[in-house]
Structure 1
Amino acid sequence: MNKHRLTNLPLFALLPLLASCSGNYTFKSNVTPDNAEQYFSASKVKIFNDESEFNSAFQYIGLVEGDDCQKKSYLAPPDAINARTQARQAAFLQQANAVIFTSCVDIETKHCVAQVVCYGKAYRLGAPYKEMEQ
């Protein structure tokens, strides 16, 4: 039993030292609540294949697009996933919660080595049907 007490003694001696090290530390970041909301906004817009998959009332909001540009030849090639994520963020800004992608195309541009653009239709699901004003 004495041996057990001696092995635990160093732990009890260290606890006050460890507790004194847990001071108030500050952390600075460029992430603000607004930036975080915009960053994660795409996750609030669900992707569907077509309108037949909607299980509730829906309202067509409008067209959205997103792109991914490879600015230098040594950087990663453009990715349709990134372009679709941008389009979903654009849909969220229009208060949509669903999107149906119609196409993703590679385009040539002077500003990018390569670029992909994805186009989609944004919808609000669960909203009462309302005629869009022309």
Structure 2
Amino acid sequence: MKILFPIASLLLLSACGSNYVFKSNLDPAAINDYFKPSQVQLFENSVPSSPYVVLGMVEGNDCQIEQNAAPASFANARTDARRKAADMNANGILIKNCAEIPEPAEGCFSRTLCVGQAIKIKTE
């Protein structure tokens, strides 16, 4: 048992020096876009307690492309709106309304839409 520990440690340390290459299906150029929505605070049925400036209107939508796919959701539509607000350098979004579109656009089996205001909350 005393001999096994040094041998196992040696094997682990030798693996650290290997030239292992990590490959991923994530696009390195778009990695920041994946996390954009998390930079925008969502306000639904409330307003920020700090002063803010309205930067403009944004809308987000979700489309169910295939019949056997998950139905369009309000959560995905809000996330799309948050991403668009981040593109406007907003750090918050006031969601005004979300709705299921009764007659979805061509190519969608179901569709949801959320509309809101992109805002910049003043930080002290």
Fold equivalence (TM over 0.5): yes
Out of 15, 35, 38, the position equivalent to 1:43 is 38
**Are 2:119 and 1:123 aligned?**
yes
Q: CA deviation digits over 1:58-104, x for unaligned, max 9?
A: 11111101111111111111111011001001001001111111111
1:4 corresponding residue in structure 2: none
Shift of 1:50: 5.8
What is the CA–CA distance in structure 2 between the aligned matches of 1:96 and 1:67, rounded to whole Å? Answer: 18
Q: Residue 10 and residue 83 in structure 1: after superposition, are their counterparts in 2 closer, same or farther (change >3 A)?
A: same
Structure 2 residue ranges without an equivalent (≥5): none
Q: Residue 105 and residue 21 in structure 1: after superposition, are their counterparts in 2 closer, same or farther (change >3 A)?
A: same
Higher helix share: 1
Query: Which has the larger displacement, 12-21 or 37-46?
Result: 12-21
What is the CA–CA distance in structure 2 between the aligned matches of 1:14 and 1:58, rounded to whole Å? Answer: 58
What is the CA–CA distance in structure 1 between the aligned matches of 2:12 and 2:49, rounded to whole Å? Answer: 55
Q: Residue 13 and residue 95 in structure 1: after superposition, are their counterparts in 2 closer, same or farther (change >3 A)?
A: closer
Query: Which has the larger displacement, 73-82 or 21-30?
Result: 21-30
Structure 1 residue ranges without an equivalent (≥5): 1-6, 128-134
TM-score by length of 2: 0.84
Identity of aligned residues (%): 32
Q: CA deviation digits over 1:2-56, x for unaligned, max 9?
A: xxxxx21122233333333331201123332x522211111111112467x3233
Out of 89, 101, 113, the position equivalent to 2:109 is 113
Letter in 2 for 1:31: D
Task: Give secondary structure in 1 for the equivalent of 2:2.
Answer: helix
Larger Rg: 1
C-alpha RMSD of matched pairs (Å): 1.9
TM-score by length of 1: 0.78
**Are 2:17 and 1:17 aligned?**
no
**Are 2:86 and 1:98 aligned?**
no
**Are 2:48 and 1:54 aligned?**
yes
What is the CA–CA distance in structure 1 between the aligned matches of 2:37 and 2:43, rounded to whole Å? Answer: 14
Q: Count the aligned residue pairs.
A: 119
